């Protein structure tokens, strides 16, 4: 059995491809998810994210290519791998006539764990509390809101205290407070050693919690990089002023671009530049080092893909 720590990757794919007839839902994807990552898998609906996750879990067979999870080939090693992985892919499955606790008890009973009943009950209670559900709630799951069902699915994923969490749109159906709670929970789990691979179409969610980002478009991976690297300073200064024309005339060649009231300028010292402009009578509303947002980076990557 291969040790994941040998190359530091918990997920690794090589030219992973899934075709449905003439449609390439996933097209030669090379994923690299390292131990300790919070990896954000970005893409619009229909980009191939869920299909990729299902192949990683052995739920869908690839047409070609390879996938390794926790250092072992999938789906061949799924019996060894899946007990160490928590997952929530697509909608959370549940028996609608049973309570959340009863659903988790049935899930627990299907595993190889033979720990005492009280220990299993405590584990169920802990998982429900972690995601903000009441272990004493006896209402059937059919009465749950979409957000509550999503929380229950996440609780099920946490039951085995997994080394790796694979999550498909984990904040789906949650209100802003619920999104914040789940984000904090995932970050706590990551801090305690759990690697997290989550798909989302929400750029803000990814930017706030992930360490590494992959962007899927039309089934192809068009970007994969450490988030810190993507968001590093650009060496530019952004200036907002209602007198953009005069500001540009004063600065001259270092001005890289002008869009409305915003100028991007090659400059090392924003404070010195601000003092110069104010001294010349230019009203400066905002000035500071310019960093691209994740949205700008993704749009740039997509534009590059379109021009190939």
Instruction: Kindly state whether residue 137 falls inside one of the protein's structural domains.
Output: yes
Helix (H) or strand (E) run with residue 39 in it? strand 38-42
**8 Å CB contact between 283 and 243:** yes
**8 Å CB contact between 198 and 167:** yes
Instruction: Kindly state whether residue 11 falls inside one of the protein's structural domains.
Output: yes
Domain range holding 243? 236-290
Q: Where are the beta strands (DSSP E) in 188-234?
A: 195-200, 212-217, 220-226
In whole numbers, what is the pLDDT of the chain averaged over residues? Answer: 89
On whether both 151 and 285 belong to a single domain, the answer is: no
The mean pLDDT value for 89-107 works out to 83
Instruction: Kindly state whether residue 56 falls inside one of the protein's structural domains.
Output: yes
Q: What is the per-residue pLDDT for 93? A: 66
Distance CA 159, CA 120 (A): 9
Helix (H) or strand (E) run with residue 190 in it? helix 176-191
For residue 60, cis peptide bond before it (omega within 30 degrees of 0): no
More confidently predicted of 148 and 94: 148
| Closest C-alpha among 163, 148, 167 to residue 94 | 148
On whether both 155 and 79 belong to a single domain, the answer is: yes
Q: What is the per-residue pLDDT for 5? A: 45
Does 152 have pLDDT greater than 70? yes
pTM over 0.95: no
Could you read off the pLDDT of 17-59 as tens digits, one per residue? 999 999 999 999 999 999 999 999 998 888 999 999 999 999 9
On whether both 167 and 248 belong to a single domain, the answer is: no
CATH number at residue 245: 3.30.70.100
Q: What are phi and psi of 217, to 5 degrees?
A: -145, 120
Which stretch of 89-98, 127-136, 196-205, 217-226 has the lowest confidence by average pLDDT?
89-98
Q: Quote the number of domains for the chain.
A: 2
On whether both 82 and 223 belong to a single domain, the answer is: yes
Assign 1 a pLDDT band (cuts: 50, 70, 90).
very low
**The token pair that represents 216 in the structure block:** 């899927």
CATH number at residue 37: 3.40.50.300
The mean pLDDT value for 133-151 works out to 91
DSSP string for 105-130: HHHHHTSS----HHHHHHHHHHHHHH
Q: What is the per-residue pLDDT for 232? A: 85
């Amino acid at each position: 059995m291969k040790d994941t720590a040998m190359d530091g990757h918990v997920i690794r794919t090589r030219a992973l491809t899934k075709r449905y007839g003439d449609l390439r839902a996933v097209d030669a994807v090379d994923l690299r998810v390292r131990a300790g990552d919070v990896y954000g898998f970005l893409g619009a609906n229909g980009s191939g994210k869920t299909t990729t996750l299902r192949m990683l879990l052995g739920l869908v067979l690839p047409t070609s290519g390879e996938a390794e999870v926790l250092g072992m080939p999938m789906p061949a090693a799924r019996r060894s791998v899946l007990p160490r992985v928590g997952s929530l892919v697509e909608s959370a499955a549940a028996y609608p006539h049973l309570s959340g606790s009863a659903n988790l008890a049935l899930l627990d009973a299907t595993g190889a764990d033979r720990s005492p009943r009280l220990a299993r009950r405590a584990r169920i209670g802990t998982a429900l509390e972690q995601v903000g559900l009441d272990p004493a709630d006896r209402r059937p799951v059919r009465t749950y809101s979409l957000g509550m069902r999503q929380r229950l699915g996440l609780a099920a994923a946490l039951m085995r205290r997994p080394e790796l969490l694979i999550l498909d749109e984990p904040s789906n159906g949650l209100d802003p407070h619920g999104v914040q709670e789940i984000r904090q929970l995932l970050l706590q789990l990551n801090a305690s050693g759990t690697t997290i691979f989550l798909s989302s179409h929400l750029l803000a969610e990814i930017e706030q919690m992930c360490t590494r980002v992959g962007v899927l478009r039309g089934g192809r991976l068009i970007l994969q990089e450490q988030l810190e690297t993507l968001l590093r300073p650009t060496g530019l200064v952004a200036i907002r002023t209602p007198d953009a024309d005069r500001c540009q005339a004063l600065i001259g060649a270092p001005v890289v671009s002008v869009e409305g009231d915003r100028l991007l300028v090659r400059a090392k010292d924003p404070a010195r530049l601000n003092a110069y402009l104010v001294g010349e009578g230019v009203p400066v509303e905002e000035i500071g080092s310019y960093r691209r947002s994740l949205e700008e980076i993704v749009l740039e990557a997509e534009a590059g893909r379109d021009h190939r």
